[in-house]
Structure 1
């Protein structure tokens, strides 16, 4: 049992003896087999590292990136930040496979389906982008206002708001795909301006 990484307290409880008795016999066993303690340490379950401030910021940025772009960051991304997020995610995938991923990271990443798998296809990315567009189209058709990406407690609104905000950023930077820009212009007139501007509609009070 000790070789399997089980602590002496649990061995004692299972055997119905005092922990001091178990430790005494382990001392004798260690003299006869010096490697027994090393085997015990090697069998101990790995301790998941606790997330730090930088890691939590990376987690938040990764979730936001996925909401905006409908995909996970790529190692071939145009920006250094995207490439850094891909590297950070690769390390989290490795920890998940090894069973050492922090529960806080696992819970935070759970909002991204399939985050622990390899990169998705471009077709999947496009399908998610189209889904966001359709969701926002339905809201606008029903008379709803443009979603906010901050200062709202509605998670669905924030998700769409972050996505729309990302499209605006991509457009202003000249990086928005022309086909996507065309769809946005046709389906969501006024999407570039948003609330309180030309093309925006206020929600009824």
Structure 2
């Protein structure tokens, strides 16, 4: 029996549900499929039938989000940023303007997944290949920046470089595994140069790590107890 995932897109059942006014997210929940897969099928269906979106909106009693001058300005700001910096905005950025753009983009991705993205915005963002697929990359980037901030604070508290083995606390373990990964990527020439620069600026000496024979200080969340094995990585 051929699974739904293996069927040729668009899936007729999903298209029928969409015609009846169900959003892609609702369809995905009902058929136990990923929202991305349902959205992919429906995007093909809309290309084949330009009237499909109108039928869906009429059945759902919905209209795409209203396009305001502010919306168009934010879209243009996003396009300019991506073109200039080669990346999408981060919700953890230091500047309020970039955080606002990240929030705006997240809402547009949600609108697109639910079939409510205004045509003017959809057409404007079409020049950014894979802009809807950048969500996971954005999450990974935010997680990386968060780990860097945590490591910076850990070192500023007077702690030695965190280990990834034989650790005292969960905090040391999490940071140690992350730092070990960055060193591994650096040795293999796989670390993003921008990330290497950020590490060098925030925590100088990160690539060398502990000096053999140096005892470890107690970690902040270890209750002040003595450190365990301090062997080098």
Normalised to the residue count of structure 1, the TM-score between the two structures is 0.38
Structure number, greater radius of gyration: 1
